[in-house]
């Protein structure tokens, strides 16, 4: 049984992601970027993150052993996402020189990275970078869900954990509604 690429893409699209632009220098030393939503944290010690880029992208060739930056786009940067996804805008986004590679002005967060490792990921390459510097703003991030850019909705103000035993206010043990909770061990499994 084989899953068709379009069917798989639609299923992957059910997972909401942030939107990033991976930036670096091209072979001529000019800033280059590629819109990527496959980004994740990898490790705190050492500080590592990863991006996954299609092998057909120009950025894959430019990232081979080169420093790069991951720019988390803010809610108002959908045009920037489109710009680096193949629909160039005029004028283009504003650039600045970052600690390791060029960065985009106005991003919600920027991870400036040194190259760490690159792995085979089928029709993509998995590029892991060591985070050398971070820049974080208060801007809300741009999201991507089911083929469209989205914004984060309002903060949920209702009961968030109240019905859960993992509620940070109650915990599994302690005082709940004025009464002490106790742990009742499971009975041994009968042979």
Residue 165 forms part of a structural domain: no
Residue 116 forms part of a structural domain: yes
Residue with the larger pLDDT of the pair 78 and 178: 78
Residue 189 forms part of a structural domain: no
Residue 142 forms part of a structural domain: yes
Tokens of 102: 């060029």
Residue 171 forms part of a structural domain: no
Residue 110: domain span: 5-151
Q: How many structural domains does the chain have? A: 1
pLDDT digits 0-9 by tens, 77-132: 999 999 999 999 888 999 999 999 999 999 999 999 999 999 999 999 999 999 99
> Can you tell me the distance from the alpha carbon of 98 to that of 133, in angstroms, rounded to the nearest whole number?
9
pLDDT above 60 (res 174): no
Q: 3-state DSSP helix/strand/coil percent for the chain, to nearest 5?
A: 10, 40, 50
Residue 191 forms part of a structural domain: no
- Its pTM stands at 0.78
CATH of the domain at 94: 2.30.110.10
Residue 45 forms part of a structural domain: yes
Residue 110 forms part of a structural domain: yes
């Amino acid at each position: 049984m084989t899953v068709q690429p379009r069917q798989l893409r639609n299923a992957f699209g059910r997972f909401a992601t942030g939107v990033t632009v991976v930036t670096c220098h091209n072979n001529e030393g000019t800033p280059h970027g590629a819109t990527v939503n496959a980004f994740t944290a990898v490790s705190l010690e050492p500080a590592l993150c990863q991006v996954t880029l299609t092998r057909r992208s120009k950025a894959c060739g430019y990232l081979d052993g080169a420093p790069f930056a991951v720019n988390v786009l803010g809610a108002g940067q959908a045009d920037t996402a489109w710009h680096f996804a193949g629909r160039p805008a005029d004028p283009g986004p504003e650039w600045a020189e970052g600690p390791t590679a060029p960065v985009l002005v106005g991003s919600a967060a920027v991870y400036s990275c040194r190259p760490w490792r690159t792995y085979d990921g089928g029709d993509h390459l998995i590029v892991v970078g060591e985070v050398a510097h971070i820049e974080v703003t208060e801007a809300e991030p741009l999201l991507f869900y089911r083929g469209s850019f989205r914004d984060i909705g309002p903060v949920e103000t209702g009961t968030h954990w109240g019905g859960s035993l993992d509620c940070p206010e109650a915990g599994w043990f302690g005082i709940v509604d004025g009464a002490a909770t106790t742990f009742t061990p499971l009975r041994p499994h009968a042979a």
